[in-house]
Chains A and B, each alone.
Chain A
Amino acid sequence: MKILFEKLKNLTAINRHNYEVFFLDYLDGSLSEKDKKELKVFLQRNPDLQDEFEGIGEIKLQPEQIFYENKQELIKKTQAQYFEITELEYLCIAETENDINYEEKQTLDDEIKKNTVAERTFKLFKKTKLLPDYRIKYSSKKELYHKTVKFSLLKTTYSISAAVIILLFLIKGNFLFNQNSYFKEQKSTFAESKTYREKAKPIFSDDEVKGNKKAIISKKNKALFTHNQTIKNSNNNVLAFDDNESQNIKNFHYGIKIPIPKMKNETLISNISKSIPISVSSTPVISAVNYQKKEPLLDKNKMWRYAEKGVKIWKKLTGDDIELRNVYTDDGNIEEINFIASNFQFRKTYAKK
């Protein structure tokens, strides 16, 4: 609408059809000096419109004196005002603290250039950096140290025992406790063994001559001895076997018996003496039997006690959260093993024999 008025006003000079537009523009103060003169001439020529012109001025609203009371709350403080220091102090400290931005740095540099007081202030602030007093030392430092692992023979033995036992335990947890299954599967040797050589006394069932080392085999009972005949102990456990068993085994003299030395169940016979060719006319002489008597390194309970001590020492020295806790039966055998570490826990229970 206003644009339309503007066009109307520009197209024509003031007259009785468009004078309201000129009156309103006069009231708004947007009338040019030329139009103001035209308006004045127009009012002189049309005095009946004088009252209307003066009345227009009265409809303009005058602003009331109302103020926003919380204006101060809207005003943001500068950093300096926030810190309750001067602007110069803020800039100097910001530079000293390496906490200044580009604009602030420019302002400070300008201030220092034109103002010697600012320069002196800045230099003083630069001096406020404290340096550590290296003369001050903590004299009781040794009391703070904690002992690291110190190797002694006993402690090392315990620790190694613990490590080995735990390792074996994890690999094959029941190897110490189920001996039958162990011997059935075991093919390697023990860590420690002794080889014994014992004189053999072959005894033939039919033609036994007590006290006579020589035995007679009848012609019809051919036999071929090779080394490592299959031999069983009294419990019928295989103690030695022939890995190169003769094809003539069918001719084996079934009555032959080789007395097995009185050995504990850890005993394993490895071989017999060299193969002995037997002929019908000769008398077999088995001069000796070689066997290996196997003995465990340590008593199993003793081993676990070593392991327990080793773990305790390791825990004390390193502070690691490991624990080997065994439960013993009344007769001193291990019933349950608990290996407890910070990351995992392992428990194994063994049936009582």
Chain B
Amino acid sequence: MTVNEYNKSAEKYSDHIYRFILKNIKNENTAKDIVQDSFEKLWINRKSVYFAKVKSYLFTTAYRTMIDIIRKQKRIILTDDNAGFEAEYESTYSDLQEVLHKALERLPEIQRSVVLLRDYEGYSYKEIADITNLNESQVKVYIYRARVFLKNYIGKVENII
């Protein structure tokens, strides 16, 4: 990858990476650090990364950096357990996407990540599996369970509204 291609990647994908990370961890500074760290790694490894694969490389790097940070900070427990969760339903939502993003925050970490990669970036199960180091079946299970949760959430909010 050339310098120009690297700069194009920074122009094109930095917002995507930042958005993805920020939606996962609600901390702007940490999200920015992760974006910088990911692009620094890309710059170091630019000769072994093809421009066509740079987006996946960035998401993979950013995701794994984020997981490392989360584990170190122990802010979020990585679990796929929705059981016992009692959502608080607000009635001040302005639109459906706002409701969905509120629901998104309540998803378990891993489900939130795979749904964001699926909906924000349009990645296939296989691509998501590569980024998150899961297998395709696990990715599919997480996405389906996340959809059920989101559906139930917006269903209850609709009832309230």
A residues apposed to B, CB below 8 Å: 82-85, 89-90, 92-93, 96-97, 99, 121, 124-125, 127-133, 136-141, 143-149, 317-319, 342
Main secondary structure on A side of the interface with B: loop
CB-CB nearest in chain B for A121: B151
1/0 per position for B134-160, CB-CB distance to A under 8 A? 000000110111011011001100100
B156 CB to nearest chain A CB (Å): 10
Interface mask (B31-54 → A, CB under 8 Å = 1, otherwise 0): 010011001000100110000000
CA distance A124 to B96 in the complex (A): 11
Q: Is B14 an interface residue when CB atoms closer than 8 A count as contact?
A: yes
Supposing A83-B145, A144-B36 touch, asked if A124 and B151 sit within 8 A by C-beta, the answer is yes
Is the Cβ of A137 less than 8 Å from the Cβ of B10?
no
Cβ contacts under 8 Å, A133 to chain B: 19, 23, 97, 101
Q: A131-B119, A144-B36 are in contact. List 9 more A-B contacts (CB 8 A).
A: A89-B151, A97-B144, A129-B119, A130-B100, A132-B119, A138-B17, A141-B10, A149-B3, A342-B47
In the complex where A125-B151, A141-B10 touch, is A132 in contact with B96 (Cβ < 8 A)?
no
Cβ-closest chain A residue relative to B143: A97
Contacts of B47 in A (CB 8 A): 319, 342
Query: What's the least CB distance linking A300 to chain B, in Å?
Result: 33
Complex: A133 Cα to B96 Cα, angstroms? 13
Q: A84, B145: Cβ atoms under 8 Å? A: yes
List the B residue with the shortest CB-CB distance to A140.
B32
A136 touches B46 (CB 8 A): no
Also in contact, A130 and B148, with CB within 8 A (given A82-B141, A83-B141): no
Let me know if B92 is at the binding interface, CB within 8 A. no
Contact present for B147 and A96 (CB under 8 Å): yes
Check B15–A138 contact: CB distance below 8 A: yes
Are A132 and B120 touching (Cβ within 8 A)? Answer: yes
